[in-house]
Each structure stands twice: as C-alpha cells, then as structure tokens.
Chains A and B, each alone.
Chain A
Amino acid sequence: MELNEFVANLAEQFDDTDASVITKDCHFRELEEYSSLVGMSIIAMAKTQYGKSISGADIRSCTTVEDLFNLVSNK
C-alpha cells in the first residue's frame, strides 16, 4: 500500500470536496461533505481496492487521512 495512492483513492469517495483538500493530514471526518454514506464508501474501498475489512468504529477512531491509511495497512 502506498500513501499517495491511498489519498487519491480516498479523494475519489467525495463528490463535492476538491481533491486538493484531501491530504494525508486532512481531518477527513470534519469535512462538510463527510457522512455515514461516505464512511460506507470508505469501507467498500478498503474491501475492493485493498482486500481489507474495516468497521465504522475503526473509521471513527481515525482523525487524519494518514491514520486511516495506517489502519487499513495494518488490517
């Protein structure tokens, strides 16, 4: 898993948030567009693109995009 690619994939899960906003230090859950539906897409992304199973609670334990990257990497 590579961080930059992960950040780009995560940015894809948002429709109205500019990709430039999604960086490794971004507090993604505080973004205006963030919702449980985006969370669901992140779970789907972890599964289909990285073959990892994560939970909603896992996502809620992350603050930054890098936290999320580490979470998925370590699953």
Chain B
Amino acid sequence: MVEHFNPFTLASKQILVTGASSGIGKAIAIACAMMGATVIVTGRNEERLAETLSRMPIGDHRAISADLTKPEDIDRLVENIPKLDGFVQCAGVGSRVACKDITQKAVDYTMNANFESPVLLQAAILKNKKINKAASIVYLSSIAAWSPSMGNAIYSASKGAIISYAQCLAQELASRLIRVNCICPAMVWTDLVLQDGVTRDDLLEDEKRYPLKRYGTPEDIANLAIYMLSDASSWMTGSSIEISGGIIKL
C-alpha cells in the first residue's frame, strides 16, 4: 500500500479559511479542497469568494461573506459553520507608514484586521463550541514580526501580536489536542505587497536579494498550511514556522 501513503491528506476534515477571496487565503482554501477537505471560505467580496469556490474540485464547499471587523458578521459566520477540524486565519491588511506619520486611523486599520478580528473570531468559535478535538488552527503571521523594515511598524507589531496570542492559545487548547501554529512568510506575490507607493518594478528588484532568487507564491504558503492542517503535524503546536526563500534575518 506504499503507493497510497499520504500523511498530508485532509479528507473528511471541515476547514474554515478567512481572507479566502484573494492571495494566500485563496490559495490555501483551494489547496485544502484539493487535499480532500470540505472548505468554508469567508471574506468580504462575494464575487471573489465565488471565484475561489469555482477553482475547487467538486465537494460540499461553501462561501459565507463577512467583514470580520464587524461583530455582527462574526456572529453570523460562527452560527453558520459546522464544527471545524481546521481553521486558517488569513484575513489581513498591510500598510506602510513612517512611525512619525502614524495616526489613530492607521493603527486601527491594521490592528483591527490583523489582530483584533482574528482574536474575537477565535473566541466566538470556542464559545460556540464550533471546533473539534484534535483540530488544527493556523494563523498567517509574517517574518515582519521580528524582521524590521522602515514603514512597517504597525504591520510588524500586528503580526508579532498574533504570534504571542497564538502561543497562549496553544497552551489553553492543548488539553483537547487542538494545535495552534503560525506561518511566517517573507514577501509573497499578492495584492497586499503592492500598495502605499511600492511598484512592481521595485519588488522585482528586491526579490533578487533572496537566496532562492524569488518572492514566494501563495501556493508555496498553501503547501505549508496543508502540512499544519494535516495529522502529519500532530506533534506541532505553539510553533511559528518561517518560510522565506532563505532571506536572512536583519
């Protein structure tokens, strides 16, 4: 039976992916479906969620659109999901602003989406008992959490905050064998990296610095998410895994 050996299968798992309308979240949602999971995708844009679903193999997958910065949307989402075996929090935003230009609005924009909403959604899922024993929870963090760059202060802080949070959550859920881990990518080609004055040409130049000579793709990250969601990673919890094309820490 060696030909059927597949420790990474997600067959019969129910997995919720936030931020699934684009970028890394979309790639993870599609990859989960291809590995046999039943996937629930959520994000703000209904049309783009439908596009994500259309890329999945046939199954009982569905989309629930929600703006996770709104408490009523979190409640509605949690009410409408089954008990989860896997949960990937990819919803997030980026911003680039120098420390002296940081405003309350800028702090709220990034911290609400990258820290507050994932934490409150997680609390709602736990309170409503929507997670199975031995489930796997994955947060999309970033190497930015410990790798500083100019203009990235709030984003870095938000990604560091989620790592600290996830480590505590891992402690609290370990007795039920629920695992909590973070993925910390370096630059990945998504819409998120092309904003606040950065152009594609700037990034094409920057990616040459990477030992593997390129930025990541959403699929590169999805493959790590598959491992973390599968039973292959049963002994991994509280970990933050760097996936970076070899770029060295500053």
**A interface, CB within 8 angstroms of B:** 36-37, 39-41, 43-45, 48, 53-59
- The 8 Å CB contact of A57, one of B96, B150, B201, is B201
Q: Does B175 contact A (CB under 8 A)?
A: no
- The 8 Å CB contact of B197, one of A37, A40, A48, is A40
Q: List 5 A-B contacts (CB under 8 A).
A: A40-B151, A41-B100, A53-B197, A58-B197, A59-B197
- Taking CB atoms, residues of chain B closer than 8 Å to A44 are 97-98, 101
- Taking CB atoms, residues of chain B closer than 8 Å to A57 are 199, 201-202
Q: How far is the CA of A41 from the CA of B102 in the complex (A)?
A: 10
Q: How far is the CA of A74 from the CA of B2 in the complex (A)?
A: 65
- Taking CB atoms, residues of chain B closer than 8 Å to A56 are 197-199, 202
**New A-B pairs, 9, CB < 8 Å, besides A41-B98, A48-B103, A55-B199:** A37-B150, A40-B101, A40-B197, A44-B97, A48-B101, A56-B198, A56-B199, A56-B202, A57-B202
Q: A41-B98, A41-B101 are in contact. Are A36 and B150 (CB under 8 A)?
A: yes
**B interface, CB within 8 angstroms of A:** 96-98, 100-101, 103, 150-151, 196-199, 201-202
- Taking CB atoms, residues of chain A closer than 8 Å to B196 are 43
Q: How far is the CA of A54 from the CA of B196 in the complex (A)?
A: 8
Q: How far is the CA of A55 from the CA of B202 in the complex (A)?
A: 10
Tell whether, in the assembled complex, residue A55 and residue B100 are in contact, meaning their CB atoms are under 8 Å apart: no
Interchain pairs with CB closer than 8 A, number: 37
Q: How far is the CA of A74 from the CA of B101 in the complex (A)?
A: 24
Q: How far is the CA of A11 from the CA of B100 in the complex (A)?
A: 15
Tell whether, in the assembled complex, residue B199 and residue A40 are in contact, meaning their CB atoms are under 8 Å apart: no
Q: How far is the CB of B101 from chain A (nearest CB, A)?
A: 4
Q: How far is the CA of A25 from the CA of B198 in the complex (A)?
A: 26
Q: A40-B96, A44-B98, A44-B101 are in contact. Are A55 and B198 (CB under 8 A)?
A: yes
- Taking CB atoms, residues of chain A closer than 8 Å to B100 are 41
- Taking CB atoms, residues of chain A closer than 8 Å to B96 are 40
Q: How far is the CB of A39 from chain B (nearest CB, A)?
A: 8
Tell whether, in the assembled complex, residue A55 and residue B151 are in contact, meaning their CB atoms are under 8 Å apart: no
Q: How far is the CB of B209 from chain A (nearest CB, A)?
A: 15
Q: How far is the CB of A59 from chain B (nearest CB, A)?
A: 8
- The 8 Å CB contact of A40, one of B97, B103, B201, B202, is B97
- Taking CB atoms, residues of chain A closer than 8 Å to B98 are 37, 40-41, 44
Q: How far is the CA of A36 from the CA of B151 in the complex (A)?
A: 10
Q: How far is the CA of A37 from the CA of B150 in the complex (A)?
A: 7
Q: How far is the CA of A43 from the CA of B150 in the complex (A)?
A: 14
Q: How far is the CB of A53 from chain B (nearest CB, A)?
A: 8
Q: How far is the CA of A17 from the CA of B215 in the complex (A)?
A: 37
Query: Which residue of B is nearest A54, CB measured?
Result: B197
